[in-house]
Amino acid sequence: MGVAEGAAGERGGGEVGCALAGGCHCGGVRFRLRAPRHLVVWSCNCSICRMKGNDHVVVPKLDFVLESPAALDELGLYQFGSRQALHYFCRTCGVCAFYQPRSNPDGWAVTYGCLDRDSLGGTTHEVQHFDGENWEASIEGSSIVGMSKVA
């Protein structure tokens, strides 16, 4: 179950790291994902993350499954600025439980606070800061880019 065992060929159906589940406040959005047991939680100070207090875990798209009830195209979508990030949110409760970050077009950013508490049992985490207020200067050299790469 160790994440270090995650050879590319195992990722299709095998268990890599741990299985987490989460969703929005009302339950209209539910998902599962695979993530390392030790989670890197990104705290960002860009204009929108600062407002939302957004701490998130970035995973490869392959490791994330949206289970519904709401399908992706039924969610609200907010874009601004470069319009590269896709800020999906539940149309009922307004919570952004996951989104596609500008930093990781091949990944999803999952809101740490939207992960089910019972699924976080056995995980540890560390908080890393991303200086999104100075995005262009920060993205190069930040390890956030690698978080969505399939190992």
Q: List residues binding Zn ion (CB under 5 A).
A: 24, 26, 28, 90, 92-93
> E strands within 4-72?
18-23, 30-35, 38-44, 55-60, 64-66
Helix (H) / strand (E) element for 107: namely strand 107-111
CB of residue 133 vs Zn ion: minimum separation in angstroms?
28
CB of residue 70 vs Zn ion: minimum separation in angstroms?
8
Pick 68 or 134: Cβ nearer Zn ion? 68
Pick 25 or 149: Cβ nearer Zn ion? 25
Pick 24 or 39: Cβ nearer Zn ion? 24
CB of residue 150 vs Zn ion: minimum separation in angstroms?
29
Q: Is the peptide bond before 36 cis (omega within 30 degrees of 0)?
A: no
Question: What residue is closest to Zn ion based on CB?
Answer: 90
- Residue in the block written with tokens 């060929």: 9
Pick 98 or 135: Cβ nearer Zn ion? 98
Give the CA diameter of the chain: 40
- Are 26 and 90 contacting, i.e. CB atoms less than 8 angstroms apart? yes
CB of residue 92 vs Zn ion: minimum separation in angstroms?
4
